[in-house]
Chains A and B, each alone.
Chain A
């Protein structure tokens, strides 16, 4: 591809519009994981939860429309979260081990059920783009912001909601206290185990919703590789956002834009820049955030303590 192609408006329009869409499912899952981690539990099973949510989303969408699919994804994810909570918080099994088991088993189970349940890909009527009258006519900004499936707006809404919850609700404060200083929280009468279970269930529910949004809301079908590492990207996003909900918006959309850029560059025949570098960039940035120590100050102080107790 000529470098000049990078200067066209169309190219950037499609990168930004695609990035907005790609960033949402992983952003929603990351928002959930953030809530769980802020309450003190690390769930490495996001990948599996998202896969189950994606399957539930498609199955739900076939029978009850896209909205039904999203609810199905949310519920299946919450169930997965509940199971995780029972194993890790109730039965005190190691969180890292159970997390990996969830990733392995969730993806395996979703694919197994899909392949045995459907002979051919079920037809979903995907959500049409929501063309905002007037605003969608604005050049660049219009197609990028105001000609998108409605589910795209779930992410900012959700993040504002979580930020408000952390800042000004009792539950939000208890949740943060459980993750930062469980002993002090307990001394002040917070039921730490219960708050943590709630955090893990929210994490699961949003992981499932993220998968459902991807499969039923954006792509319109399930496939074996649909999650394809997005669950682990979500984990990286939480670190890159330094465990702050509002920071997830730029990081999630940033990573979406990067993926869209990579896809657009590839379809137009490559670029001087190696594609692999673009693929590695989000993880390099995340590692750098950890390395310069920003992540440390943002991380819930009790995060990972469950693992250390168990090792």
Chain B
């Protein structure tokens, strides 16, 4: 009798109801965010509700330029976010994206400095590898502290960010990395040879070829997470004891995903360097290291969802900037972003995760 009970699955809810059940929290979060957005804009500025919404959407998606700008801003968020997702799945919070990104960019700049007469087919891979290694190296200290001292990676990677911000400023002001132009006194690097820039995709916009690399990496990561490697990472993240029983070395795997996510962040740094800033600057990372982690949470650590979340976050920034021309402070974007995060954190809270 018991076997029949096992063999007969419980009646499953209809497909339609299942879709509804999974989209309902998303819709609630979106509704709350739109309501908060409208309440803040209408309550505190002179803009009407319709004008603010259309102005926002037009600013983020209303033209080829707007879409290009949104995608340009999404690129580094996706790269950091996808790396952070892999770490999150393994139960590791890499908060150090900001510093790993900066050091990835520095490593890339140093690696391609002596390469003057080489084709981009050589220079770009060199830059990418150097950046990934540089980013990962920057997570070695937190990893070692965690392995040998039990120091939380959340605290150590956060501290390293502040140390690195100062180090970057020093490197760009006082070392060979400083712009050789004697007129330059601010801390910044030499301009990257224009032949090595990632090509622009649309004339008049900033969207660059880094978007291709980003798409490929998202798909590759999504695929990897479906293999046995992904299964191991998930198992370690969800139940370390179960993973140990299955013979998985949890500590080693967690160290691996921390270093791996740092490599992704480093790569994001190189893409920003060659695609956007075209020289090392102290503002190269601009908070992407932190928002990338939040985007990973928003996409619930699923690479394709993370990419979509990154576009949403980027749209909030470009749309917010468009509204600023109408007198709405752009920090509104930060508030809506925070609300989105809170909403998703509530939806994927402990014990409620599928």
Partner-B contacts on A (CB < 8 A) = 42, 44, 87, 91-94, 96-98, 100-102, 104-109, 111-113, 115-117, 229, 232, 235-236, 239, 274, 276-277, 279-280, 283-284, 286-287, 290-291, 293, 295-296, 303-304, 307-311
- A299 nearest in chain B by CB position: B152
A235 in contact with B158 (CB, 8 Å): yes
Interchain CA distance A297-B32 in the complex, whole Å: 43
Interchain CA distance A303-B154 in the complex, whole Å: 12
B100 contacts partner chain A, Cβ-Cβ < 8 Å: no
Which of A87, A229, A277 is within 8 Å of B346, CB to CB? Answer: A87
Interchain CA distance A234-B232 in the complex, whole Å: 37
B294 in contact with A107 (CB, 8 Å): no
A96 in contact with B154 (CB, 8 Å): yes
B349 in contact with A94 (CB, 8 Å): yes
Taking chain A's interface residues, is the majority helix, strand, or loop, or is none over half, making it mixed? helix
Query: What are 29 A-B pairs at a CB distance below 8 A?
Result: A91-B349, A93-B345, A93-B349, A96-B93, A96-B95, A100-B341, A101-B294, A101-B341, A101-B342, A102-B338, A104-B338, A105-B335, A105-B337, A105-B338, A108-B335, A112-B331, A115-B331, A277-B170, A283-B159, A283-B160, A287-B145, A287-B160, A296-B149, A296-B151, A304-B154, A310-B349, A311-B88, A311-B91, A311-B93
A182 to chain B, nearest CB (A): 15
B130 contacts partner chain A, Cβ-Cβ < 8 Å: no
B163 in contact with A280 (CB, 8 Å): yes
Partner-A contacts on B (CB < 8 A) = 40, 44-45, 88, 91-93, 95, 141, 145, 149-152, 154-156, 158-160, 162-163, 165-167, 169-170, 173-174, 237, 290-291, 293-294, 297, 328-329, 331-335, 337-339, 341-342, 345-346, 348-352
Residues of A within 8 Å of B331, CB to CB, are: 107-109, 111-112, 115
Residues of A within 8 Å of B174, CB to CB, are: 274
- A229 nearest in chain B by CB position: B162
Interchain CA distance A107-B332 in the complex, whole Å: 10
- Most B CB contacts (10 A, CB to CB) among A97, A235, A279, A291 go to A97
B154 in contact with A232 (CB, 8 Å): no
- A311 nearest in chain B by CB position: B91
B167 in contact with A97 (CB, 8 Å): no
A239 in contact with B155 (CB, 8 Å): yes
Residues of A within 8 Å of B92, CB to CB, are: 311
Given the known A-B contacts A107-B334, A235-B158, A280-B162, are A274 and B170 also in contact in the complex, defined by CB atoms under 8 Å? yes
- Most B CB contacts (10 A, CB to CB) among A102, A116, A232 go to A116
Interchain CA distance A307-B92 in the complex, whole Å: 10
Residues of B within 8 Å of A113, CB to CB, are: 44
Residues of A within 8 Å of B293, CB to CB, are: 100
Residues of A within 8 Å of B332, CB to CB, are: 108, 112
Residues of B within 8 Å of A286, CB to CB, are: 159
A97 in contact with B341 (CB, 8 Å): yes
- A293 nearest in chain B by CB position: B149
B334 in contact with A108 (CB, 8 Å): yes
Given the known A-B contacts A105-B337, A232-B158, A287-B163, are A93 and B44 also in contact in the complex, defined by CB atoms under 8 Å? no
- A42 nearest in chain B by CB position: B154
B339 in contact with A116 (CB, 8 Å): no
B341 in contact with A87 (CB, 8 Å): no
B160 in contact with A93 (CB, 8 Å): no
Which of B45, B151, B162, B291 is within 8 Å of A290, CB to CB? Answer: B151
A266 to chain B, nearest CB (A): 13
